[in-house]
Homo-oligomer: A and B are copies of this chain.
Amino acid sequence: IAKEVAKLLEMKAQLAGDEVKHKFVLKTPKGTRDYGPKQMAIRERVFSAIITCFKRHGAEVIDTPVFELKETLTGKYGEDSKLIYDLKDQGGELLSLRYDLTVPFARYLAMNKITNIKRYHIAKVYRRDNPAMTRGRYREFYQCDFDIAGQFDPMIPDAECLKIVHEILSDLQLGDFLIKVNDRRILDGMFAVCGVPDSKFRTICSSVDKLDKIPWEEVRSEMVGEKGLSPEAADRIGEYVQLHGGLDLIERLLQDLKLSQNKLAKEGLEDMKLLFGYLTLFGITGKISFDLSLARGLDYYTGVIFEAVLQQQENDHVEEPVSVGSVAGGGRYDGLVGMFDPRGRKVPCVGVSIGIERIFSILEQRGEASEEKIRTTETQVLVASAQKKLLEERLKLISELWDAGIKAEVLYKKNPKLLNQLQYCEDTGIPLVAIVGEQELKEGVVKLRVVATREEVNVRRESLVEEIRMRTSQ
Partner of A24, one of B21, B71, B153: B71
Binds B, one of A193-201, A277-285, A327-335, A449-457: A277-285
A281 near B402 with CB under 8 A, answer no
Q: Known A29-B68, A33-B65, A412-B157; judge A56-B405 contact (CB<8 A).
A: yes
Select the residue from A59, A376, A406, A412 with max chain B CB neighbours within 10 A: A412
Partner of A150, one of B95, B282, B412: B412
Partner of A87, one of B63, B85, B377, B402: B85
B407 near A65 with CB under 8 A, answer no
A258: interface (CB < 8 Å): no
Partner of A107, one of B26, B406, B410: B26
- Give, as a whole number of angstroms, the nearest-CB distance from A390 to chain B: 12
Which residues of chain A from 65 to 111 have any CB-CB distance to chain B below 8 Å in the complex?
65-69, 71, 85-90, 92-93, 95, 97, 107-108, 110-111
* Chain B neighbourhood of A148, CB < 8 A: 412
Q: How far is the CA of A58 from the CA of B383 in the complex (A)?
A: 12
B40 near A414 with CB under 8 A, answer no
* Chain B neighbourhood of A108, CB < 8 A: 34
Q: Interface residues of A, CB < 8 Å — how many?
A: 91
Q: Known A86-B90, A282-B395; judge A26-B111 contact (CB<8 A).
A: yes
* Chain B neighbourhood of A413, CB < 8 A: 152-153, 156
* Chain B neighbourhood of A163, CB < 8 A: 399, 402
B88 near A89 with CB under 8 A, answer yes
Partner of A281, one of B153, B167, B396: B396
A409: interface (CB < 8 Å): yes
Q: Write the A332-352 contact mask toward B (1 if CB under 8 angstroms, else 0).
A: 000000001010000000000
Q: Which residue of B lies closest to A82 (CB)?
A: B90
Q: How far is the CA of A30 from the CA of B71 in the complex (A)?
A: 14
Q: Known A37-B61, A58-B408; judge A395-B153 contact (CB<8 A).
A: no
Q: Known A61-B37, A148-B412, A399-B281; judge A27-B111 contact (CB<8 A).
A: yes
Q: How far is the CA of A402 from the CA of B340 in the complex (A)?
A: 35
Select the residue from A35, A159, A406 with max chain B CB neighbours within 10 A: A35
Nearest 10 pairs between A and B by C-beta? A152-B412, A37-B60, A32-B65, A58-B409, A86-B88, A35-B63, A156-B412, A58-B379, A281-B395, A60-B376
